[in-house]
Structure 1
């Protein structure tokens, strides 16, 4: 009877009916509480259905009943990786290797754990060992994947090592590896960066850092919804870094979710208050919303944190331009141009010069001083939201058609001051 329940459980698990399989294994265990294999298979069913903690419990019970069960240690290690318990996962992998020295998958998993811990050289050594064993087993596909992992973890200037090497190649850290990928995307090679990150996530679907980095690459490619999906996944996997909230905010702003974007950027600034990029990102959102005064405040804070970051000056100049504060705009553009020139960033340098030229060509010789002063005054009265000012001006035009622009501005200002008194 016990074996009947167990065999039906195996069949249902094979058909991916994990709930049905668990029920069958429950019956088998109820009839025989010392049935080690039933605990093992129920653990696999739990794990495949996404219930990681019950899976760990069942693997542990299987180990208690059979301390030589290498597969149980291996499966529990997999589950612990999902739970971010890397130290516990490594301990189980070591035990599995002691019990079954020639299991390629165990060395492969140990390589994954050590890479996540930042032990890149040890990770490469384990991937090499796994590749050797896969070759012996004539599993060419997995052997190739292990060699791909080795190649991805090494500096690009170094060739893929032979299975036997007398002198190890220079190794980079995990953090440096992801930094290199983002630098590759920043330089325009987004396809190569994306391919590398897809490889990482194929090897380890629980790598939160890789999801975050792939989200950044998707953002640079203009795939904003894919970027948000990856940032969400990184947060679900408990990746706590300001970069994930800042970039998700930027992506949400691109699809029109400005309030959600502000919430994300605020969280990023709370986590990392001295990061000038957070204030620039929030300033960009305020600028897009037409709240130029708030944008200028954020750009100014970014400049206070890092006075040599040209983009903050350039963006603040754009906001000053929208407020018709041309003197301030010109000053900021000139500062941005100076920094870009020193950095020999000629593309952005030319962009700033073009903006300066537009300002000069947009100011006619006629007297616009009065109009500009009134416009700036009205903008400040409505909190920098020009769309509000435009609605008020249009209301006056509907009632008093044919008047000069300066007259409408002065009329709106007078009415606002009267109402406030």
Structure 2
């Protein structure tokens, strides 16, 4: 009898015959390790756990391989010593860390001995190993076991933690929640919102290994690849989406977003405009607004963002509309976006919007300060006479005179000497009432300009007083300014 005959019997399912043949082979040559290995596996198939354990022990003594320890661990499963199965499965993983079946067995045994968290971690590790081997069926089965256990613990799981080599203890960082592909996808999207693009991409890659035709995950990954400037990969994902759902309006919206990320603003706008004709949703208007913005059409971008806000306001929309505005309008929208993001707990986005708002506020304050500085004119006081400041005044951009500034005087009065220097020939003007004094005779004249530094009044009808020794600057000039008299200077603040 030969070993090969026993192998043939096992393949035909003639297990009892195979065992009889293997007994004879081993009796003839007790050093034939392969015969012990095959008999151990066959005994396990017919329910002879004790015999299988004995045979695998012989194999381990001669060739302590990962498969031998896994075989004996499987034999221990049906015995009263599940801890022995755990120890052998762990030893198998020490010898071959990629042995997915050993991790899967650990999950089963930890569950059996009442260590659910250790079981969850083992099933997660097995899921990753099966995925690496492109064994979707076993990967899905392990993930379902982990999710079932986690549901019992009321704590969702992800397939990324590692199982430790000590029963009941785990290593690795606890992963974020996932009890279904939909929730797992949502978590990836939250990471995108937080700017954690590479972490989100890792989640999407994992999900697509489980389900390569998950359309939403493909759309999200294409968009994310474009954001990371991996344009070729993004284009491949977008083409796959088009193959899977060429007419689906929701997918057309997603494809328009991907086109935007790839820089095809015109293609995105064309696609989304057709959809808007059917239904103008906030999302569709937002995408078209982004397309207009990329094309430099800020007016139409503003209109689409505003219409989208009217339908369904969001932090993202206020932020987008702020980006096509300036000044106080942009400031208000950035502040609104920051407030909404704070309500959502999105600190990163809130900080960005708040910083943009603060930058605009500072710009506006600077502009205001510059305008205020232009409106404020400081004029040195040369002397004080009768409680009135004496300042230098320039006429017709040619001659300067020291004049008293009298705020309650309705008209500016110049002397005859000043009129002579300016070449003004007066015409009869009757009398002018000076506050606190009697009316004085005057003649009338015109000057092209009166200036006090940068303050100016043009084409002024002045009075000429023959008996005055100094000119008086009156309201026909000062009416355009708020006047403040200080110790050494006069402030003229231009009225708006």
TM-score bucket (shorter structure): 0.3 to 0.5
Structure 1 length as normaliser, TM-score? 0.42
Q: Which structure has the highest helix share of the two?
A: 1
Q: Which structure has the highest strand share of the two?
A: 2
